[in-house]
Structure 1
Amino acid sequence: MSSDAALGRRNKQNLHYIVRSGLAGGIAGCVAKTVVAPLDRVKILFQASNPDFQKHAGTFVGTFRAGHDIYRQAGIRGLFQGHSATLLRIFPYAAIKFMAYDQVHYLLMPSKARETNVRRFLAGAISGTMSVFFTYPLEVIRVRMAYHTRTFGYTQGNSSPSFLRAYRQIYNERPINSTPGSDALKRSNYFSRYPLLKFYRGFTVTMTGMVPYAGVSFLSWGYLRSQFLPPSKTGHQTPTPIADLAIGALSGAFAQTASYPFEVVRRRMQVGGITRPDRWLRWSETMGDIWRARGWRGFYVGLSIGYIKVIPMTAVSYAVWQEGKRLLSV
């Protein structure tokens, strides 16, 4: 290894670099999520089959009608319900994801000559699963907060669910009417002994879905940049914010298409304590319920709003991440 390469490795792996990389990623995630927070609220209600909003699901116009209903019932705060939990989750999630990607990318592809699509996919998948592992409980709380509506899900009067109320609800959940000796009762006893595992409802399907989502997202990001922003004769071309936005948008569209069925199953499992309090839902049960209700289309309910949300969110996320890195000299 040359002295320049060794110096580059030390620079990329020192604590100062890692902290700045994580800070840029965390800010990027918060900005991107705030931009699309109202759409995110509507999408969760559609995916989790909230009874108040099923009449709007499945159509492009229904997305805006659902948003109008939320605004009429609860004002602008209703459109951002659960967003406080989103920001608590998204900053560490995005910080870990982008920071891990920088590190894993450099380990797998220390030079342009070593870059391949397989390694780009692996770098994205590894960084995405690492971020999910450390922040998943916050995601479950956020989904519970966003799922409640005025006529469905409230357990304490008409007050909107707070972070602490959602936390207590999940922590205290118990399956009801479980037959002695049944799997539901056995799982109930297990979760009673390890209550924190309740905050990992749908974790396995999330981790499985994160592999194609983060993998395809970062694969597309790296591949499109290599094709449309190749190095110039005098060195690397400096990407513009417009280029970052465009490439980020395409990356988000590809990733959303590849992973969306996993996301629908995950949402249904995360709200299982509300919709099916008699049992702990498994993959097979959740997928069976979706299939019986709507067939294969059920795994893509809300996909149109998914595109509307994910494309600008990913575009903003990548663009702010890159601009943050430039400002922080990462």
Structure 2
Amino acid sequence: MFRFLRGALLPGAACQEANNNSSRYENLFKKLDLNEDGRVDIAELHVGLKALGIPLGRDAEEKIFKTGDSNKDGQLDFEEFMQYLKDHEKKMKLAFKSLDKNNDGKIEASEIVESLKLLGINISEQQAEKILQSIDADGTMSVDWNEWRDHFLFNPATDIEEIIRYWKHSTVLDIGDSLTIPDEFTEEEKKSGQWWRQLLSGGVAGAVSRTGTAPLDRLKVMMQVHSSKSNKMNISNGLKQMVKEGGIRSLWRGNGVNVIKIAPETAVKFWAYEQYKKLFANEDGKIGTVERFVSGSLAGATAQTSIYPMEVLKTRLAVGKTGQYSGMFDCARKILKREGLTAFYKGYVPNILGIIPYAGIDLAVYEALKTAWLDHYASDSANPGVFVLLGCGTVSSTCGQLASYPLALIRTRMQAQALLEGAPQLNMVGLFQRIIANEGILGLYRGIGPNFMKVLPAVSISYVVYEKMKQNLGIA
């Protein structure tokens, strides 16, 4: 959307030398100062940029104001406006130089491929050419500094990692299965404290999302444990049985533990991911796609190990009858007294094994969908937009679940076996063989219906709450 900047926004001025920057800024400021009072407020910036063919969106416009409004009066005078653009151009210059590998003053497709690969993002040269086309104003299939500067003049990104952040795997999605790759933050975000605000936003979004879809989650667990060929439980009669047995409130049984475990799991996952990345980084401190995937999988396994007893408690509470447990601590005390400490790690092996197919397929499908979008639909911009990314994330997470679901079902049954009277206490292999023998392959997918039903509302709730939380914490 910035490709019109040179011709429509800065006619003549964009081609001037650096020593005429002040005149260029003044010309631009006049175009945005709609009431000609010598100041630009956020409403003028929004209307002015939209009129000039650069609709940034409210988040980006607020970020510009937050950075440029030095006296915090809610307006940008010409001095503040010029200082913001000067500082921003310096950052964009560093980003340009980081892409210009051969230092010839131009960015070409091969250099984009090489640079993104160092950041763990693999694209083809044809895809890189499409990115170039969205910036290239003179049709040379290379981008010089003037083209780069004008394209990103109002993009509030501050470095190359932020510029290509929209191609990273979305970390907003929370579908309640705790298997996603950890969040990744730039050094600037870590120093500024923005990282914990984003993690907090994601945690609150996850809590609201899980609470909103808790009835479907409990129904899934009940179908995983109790449904069989002889005891068919579908979505309708399953919900009726739960309400009849424990009332409406019973639909949320086990949700408290599911929400509480978000905070420790996120914290451990984030910490472990940083440590594993350092372990696998090369001499320059860079980490590739494979290393990032391995680091993420190991971090997920580490986090799951640390909070796994809470997974067992969640399952026992969800499957338990009304009055069987008075709460999470009562459940833990009874399990410890009757079954011992090892009971808190029943189903641990299939749970850990499920991380690899889930994460691998999730990331592979996500990359394939992004590539397809870039190949077929990218024209004026290489940015797919939030709804495309949400769509990619939803489909890829669903595919990951489909691959790992049998292991998740076996994990849940192992966690709940002690509650089933007369049921043998089988290990992972024995339980797998028993399900195949008695119920066939479909038996490994009991409960997948409500599991899929909760994906779309979970993603939608999670995204909306995440964005609202970011706004409230000042990081939108």
Task: State whether TM-score is above 0.5.
Answer: yes
Question: Number of aligned pairs?
Answer: 294
Q: For 2:202, which of 17, 25, 30 is the aligned residue?
A: 25
Q: Counterpart in 2 of 1:182?
A: none
8 Å Cα contact 2:257/2:310 also seen in 1: yes
Q: Counterpart in 2 of 1:165?
A: 330
Q: Counterpart in 2 of 1:267?
A: 412
Alignment-mate amino acid for residue 458 of structure 2:
M
So what's the TM-score if we normalise by structure 1?
Answer: 0.71
CA deviations 1:258-301 (Å, max 9, x no partner) are 10110111001111222378975321222122223212221111
RMSD over aligned Cα atoms: 4.2
Task: State the alpha-carbon separation in 2 of the partners of residues 290 and 323 from structure 1.
Answer: 44
8 Å Cα contact 2:255/2:314 also seen in 1: yes
8 Å Cα contact 1:245/1:319 also seen in 2: no
Alignment-mate amino acid for residue 202 of structure 1:
G
Q: Counterpart in 1 of 2:188?
A: 11
Q: Counterpart in 2 of 1:181?
A: none
Q: Counterpart in 1 of 2:314?
A: 142
Task: State the alpha-carbon separation in 1 of the partners of residues 281 and 218 from structure 2.
Answer: 38
Would the alpha carbon gap of residues 238 and 325 (structure 1) be closer, same or farther in structure 2, given more than 3 Å must change?
A: farther
Would the alpha carbon gap of residues 328 and 68 (structure 1) be closer, same or farther in structure 2, given more than 3 Å must change?
A: farther
Would the alpha carbon gap of residues 243 and 313 (structure 1) be closer, same or farther in structure 2, given more than 3 Å must change?
A: same
Q: Counterpart in 2 of 1:77?
A: 249
Would the alpha carbon gap of residues 236 and 35 (structure 1) be closer, same or farther in structure 2, given more than 3 Å must change?
A: farther
Task: State the alpha-carbon separation in 2 of the partners of residues 293 and 25 from structure 1.
Answer: 41
Determine helix, strand or coil for the equivalent of 1:271: helix
Matches within 5 A, 1:73-112: 73-94=245-266, 96-97=268-269
Q: Counterpart in 1 of 2:300?
A: 128
8 Å Cα contact 1:70/1:79 also seen in 2: yes
Cα shift at 1:198? 2.4
Tell me which protein shows more helix as a share of its residues: 1
Q: For 2:346, which of 197, 201, 215 is the aligned residue?
A: 201
Q: Counterpart in 2 of 1:239?
A: 385
Task: State the alpha-carbon separation in 1 of the partners of residues 378 and 330 from structure 2.
Answer: 55
Would the alpha carbon gap of residues 41 and 255 (structure 1) be closer, same or farther in structure 2, given more than 3 Å must change?
A: same
CA deviations 1:173-198 (Å, max 9, x no partner) are 24xxxxxxxxxxxxxxxxxxxx4432
Alignment-mate amino acid for residue 475 of structure 2:
S
Matches within 5 A, 1:162-241: 162-174=327-339, 195-225=340-370, 227-228=372-373, 237=383, 239-240=385-386
Alignment-mate amino acid for residue 129 of structure 1:
A
Q: Counterpart in 1 of 2:237?
A: 65
Bigger Cα displacement from structure 2, 203-212 vs 309-318: 309-318
Is 1:42–2:219 an aligned residue pair? Answer: yes
Cα shift at 1:81? 0.9
Is 1:248–2:393 an aligned residue pair? Answer: yes
Q: Counterpart in 1 of 2:231?
A: 55
Q: Counterpart in 2 of 1:179?
A: none
Alignment-mate amino acid for residue 198 of structure 2:
S
Would the alpha carbon gap of residues 15 and 34 (structure 1) be closer, same or farther in structure 2, given more than 3 Å must change?
A: same
Task: State the alpha-carbon separation in 1 of the partners of residues 450 and 258 from structure 2.
Answer: 18
Cα shift at 1:100? 6.4
Alignment-mate amino acid for residue 333 of structure 2:
R
Cα shift at 1:83? 1.0
Task: State the alpha-carbon separation in 1 of the partners of residues 188 and 212 from structure 2.
Answer: 33
Alignment-mate amino acid for residue 256 of structure 1:
Q
Task: State the alpha-carbon separation in 2 of the partners of residues 205 and 217 from structure 1.
Answer: 18
Task: State the alpha-carbon separation in 2 of the partners of residues 76 and 275 from structure 1.
Answer: 24
Would the alpha carbon gap of residues 43 and 300 (structure 1) be closer, same or farther in structure 2, given more than 3 Å must change?
A: same
Task: State the alpha-carbon separation in 2 of the partners of residues 318 and 69 from structure 1.
Answer: 32
8 Å Cα contact 2:378/2:384 also seen in 1: no
Cα shift at 1:25? 2.6
Task: State the alpha-carbon separation in 1 of the partners of residues 192 and 306 from structure 2.
Answer: 19
Cα shift at 1:101? 6.5
Q: Over alpha carbons, which structure has the higher Rg?
A: 2
So what's the TM-score if we normalise by structure 2?
Answer: 0.51
Task: State the alpha-carbon separation in 2 of the partners of residues 11 and 321 from structure 1.
Answer: 21
Cα shift at 1:109? 10
Determine helix, strand or coil for the equivalent of 2:406: helix
Alignment-mate amino acid for residue 171 of structure 1:
L
Cα shift at 1:136? 1.1
Alignment-mate amino acid for residue 73 of structure 1:
E
Q: Counterpart in 2 of 1:298?
A: 443
8 Å Cα contact 2:223/2:446 also seen in 1: yes
Would the alpha carbon gap of residues 301 and 82 (structure 1) be closer, same or farther in structure 2, given more than 3 Å must change?
A: same
Q: Counterpart in 1 of 2:59?
A: none
8 Å Cα contact 2:370/2:392 also seen in 1: yes
Task: State the alpha-carbon separation in 1 of the partners of residues 338 and 408 from structure 2.
Answer: 23
8 Å Cα contact 2:225/2:416 also seen in 1: yes
Matches within 5 A, 1:273-288: 273-275=418-420, 281-288=426-433
Task: State the alpha-carbon separation in 1 of the partners of residues 454 and 437 from structure 2.
Answer: 27
8 Å Cα contact 2:222/2:318 also seen in 1: yes
Task: State the alpha-carbon separation in 1 of the partners of residues 242 and 462 from structure 2.
Answer: 26
Q: Counterpart in 2 of 1:153?
A: none
Q: Counterpart in 1 of 2:403?
A: 258
Determine helix, strand or coil for the equivalent of 1:138: helix
Cα shift at 1:75? 2.3
Q: Name stretches of at least 5 consecutive residues in structure 2 with no aligned partner.
A: 1-93, 99-158, 163-184
8 Å Cα contact 2:312/2:346 also seen in 1: yes
Task: State the alpha-carbon separation in 2 of the partners of residues 105 and 223 from structure 1.
Answer: 24
8 Å Cα contact 1:225/1:247 also seen in 2: yes
